[in-house]
Each structure stands twice: as C-alpha cells, then as structure tokens.
Amino acid sequence: MERVYDARRRRPVSRLRAPRVLVCDDTDAVRHLIRVNLELEGYDVIEAHDGEEALNILASITDAEDDPLPDVVTVDALMPRRDGWWTVGMIRTDPRLEHIPVVMVTASVQSHHRAQAEQAAVDGFIAKPFEPDELIALVGVLASGGRV
C-alpha cells in the first residue's frame, strides 16, 4: 500500500482512499475540465467557485474526523469575492492546512504574478490555457508528497 501523510495525526498512514483535490475556479468550464481529467486518473474532486467557498469547504472538513483534507488544492488567481491570493494566504497561515500543496492555475502569467506566487509559497504554477496532462502530472507529484 502507498504511504501518505495524515495531517491530523502528523504521521504516515496507509492510503485507503483516492487522492483528493479541491479545485477552486470561478469559471464553470475550467472547473469541469480539471474535474473530468482528474477523475479519469482516479482522483476524488471537490469544487469551489471562489476562495471564500474553498475556505468554507476546508473549514468544514477540518471539523469532520471522517472526511479527509484534500491532498492538493488548485486555485485561480482572479476570482470574485475572495481571490486566489487571499485563499493561498489563508491556507498558508492555518496550521491545520498549511501543509497542503497549492497549484495556481491562472491566466495571470506576467513575471510579477509568478513572483507573487513564489512569495505566497505556491507549490506549482500552471498558465491558462493549459494542457490537462501537465496539470495532472503536477498534481500527481504533489499528491504523492513530492516537490516541484
């Protein structure tokens, strides 16, 4: 069995479930594209329309012992209500969530956006439009505990 990190217990455990990804994007078509491609590879996918919904989902999961946190979060930079930058900041400052790898999937690809992503401790950066295989490969590395 594959070994994964259980954030609640701070130790490795046997994987008895599919890797889980929270996909946060305000564009339905992008969320659908990411969801379908990840599900075809065996991932369990949760969707959020913006950063506020993503944090609400994460908060509800941290309160439920039988509902595992996502192994990876993908997030768009520009969204209504709460954008990706706010979302990453909230994840990185919450001790229950700070270990979760975050992939920024965005059309905001200028050099200052990449610098901002690096400063925010984003684990991966994918430019829209993107090749689904590129995203799947990156999520796979991060979900298995690897670094990019």
Question: What tens digit of pLDDT does each residue of 108-125 get?
Answer: 778 888 888 888 899 999
Nearest to 47 by CA among 71, 28, 66, 19: 28
Q: What is the mean pLDDT of residues 87-103?
A: 96
The predicted structure's pLDDT at residue 65: 74
Question: What are the domain boundaries of the chain?
Answer: 3-143
Q: What is the mean pLDDT of residues 88-94?
A: 96
- Residue 141, pLDDT > 70, answer yes
Distance CA 148, CA 130 (A): 17
Superfamily of domain 3-143 in CATH is Response regulator (3.40.50.2300)
Banded model confidence at residue 15, pLDDT cuts 50, 70, 90 = low
Q: What does DSSP say about strands 11-14 and 3-6: parallel, antiparallel, or unpaired?
A: antiparallel
- Residue 58, pLDDT > 50, answer yes
